[in-house]
Structure 1
Amino acid sequence: MPQTKLLLTLLTSLTLSAELALPPLAAAQTTQQTTAFTITGAVVERDGSPLYGVIVRAGNAKTMTNAGGRFTLTLATRPEGGRQALTLSAVGKKTQQVTFVEGHPLRVVLEDAVGEIKEVVVRARPNINALDLRARSGVVAQVDMKLLAQKPMIDLSLALQGAVPGLTVVNRGELGMKPEIRIRGNNSFTKGDAANEPLYVLDGKIISPQAFMTLNPLDIREIKVLKDAVATALYGVKAANGVLEISSRRGVSGPMSISLSTQAGSRYVAVRLRR
């Protein structure tokens, strides 16, 4: 019987100790929950319309405004004095720093970020060959002018034979007939050379095939061959058969330079026929 009373006394004391220990734990949980700090506010433009997508930062925490321009940012710990510095930024707006005070929702007006350009110079390319976009987006072949100058030739068209893949030159040998130049073959069944002839462009200006034949190779700096849709995009439907772009040599500052190139040929009768 005394042992039973002693056991009851020990159980009662343990229960009382557990009850006394519970309130501090609950108080600690309540204190931990109250340490969270919530920041609310709205961001608008000068005319009062809400701003969407504004980035709001408070230290390492950040959020973004919704369609109504409002934001809510919760911090893990309550700042000292209930005041928290915020940084607001958006594309096309000036970055602004404000201070949030607990119990006072923010309303921030972001100003437009306007920059002044003192001077703008717009320069047009003197030659369409200077454009670099075609080399990245289309098929552009360049003729080696050093090899071209070494060929004995009557006109410039015959010198292009074998110079570029896909470019063919046919010389029928008829009196008064110019050679036929084709880029990737014939594209039309229409009778005549004009339906399948490429477009000739000299320093950004369209020239005739006859003018191209009479050009001096020594006066040409480079020749480019456009073979695909890039030619049509630059010159329109006229370039459906391809484009031959020619860039002429330009004068440069410095001492005078003189070059001389000569070519000579001879013909003779090998055998005379006797009647």
Structure 2
Amino acid sequence: MHSIVVVPPGRTRPGDHLSLASGDRLVFGRDPAGTEASGRHLVIAHEGVSRIAGEISAQGTFWTLSNLNRRQTYVVENPEGAGEHIKVAPGRLEAPVPFEFARIVLPAAGELLGFDVWAPQHDYLGEESWVPDGATTVAAFSLDRTKRYFAVLVALCEPRLRDAPPHTALPTAEELAERLRPVWPAASRSAVQWNINYLAVKLRLKPAPEEAESGPRRNGTKEALVSLALRFDLVHEDDLIVLASSVSAASAASTAASAIGALR
């Protein structure tokens, strides 16, 4: 069964994709077929790309990347991870890539070339999996999606959920208040800031007021909240529905109405 899908540069049609089964290898570079490299080949026709630039190896439900360039670091980005990436050093072999959707970025003579690799196959515990008797585990993050603070968190994460570049500045408290007014008419800068501080305490990014020691003001609270929320999937793209004042589809409208009603 094919578990890894490679999307060559500029080829979006499914018929152009390359499927790899577990154990398959794919060598990519400017002229990989003209070498003694084994496995299938992907040509990246650019003079700044090595003849044998690297190799992808399918390993069950994940894949590894070998950087066969001895001078240049490669970057593997997670397009869904708000800037999440790994670096594969020159000469590094069989580096495991943990992303379901990934983009390999190759520096090439002043340009950045990239192509995508998908690993859509997953294994999960079944319902019949044995679980020992005993006390249940306390939830790692306790968030109520019907509360106002969750709408603030969604609005804070919205730019990244909509694929804004990771270096894009996060919205200010005033901008968040304006964004939230369709579902929270009384939203104000101070109310939004209170919810941001509440979230920081709730998610253990800073101590509660009664536990905090006097000292300099902490900066970067919003960045820390967004990073934690997206890294651990506390907020999803589907959660943007809590920011909608009206939705055309009847089923979506019903969902939005219940979410908005809970916020008021």
Question: What range is the shorter-chain TM-score in?
Answer: under 0.3
What TM-score do the two structures reach when normalised by structure 2?
A: 0.22
Q: Quick check: which has more Rg, 1 or 2?
A: 1
What TM-score do the two structures reach when normalised by structure 1?
A: 0.21
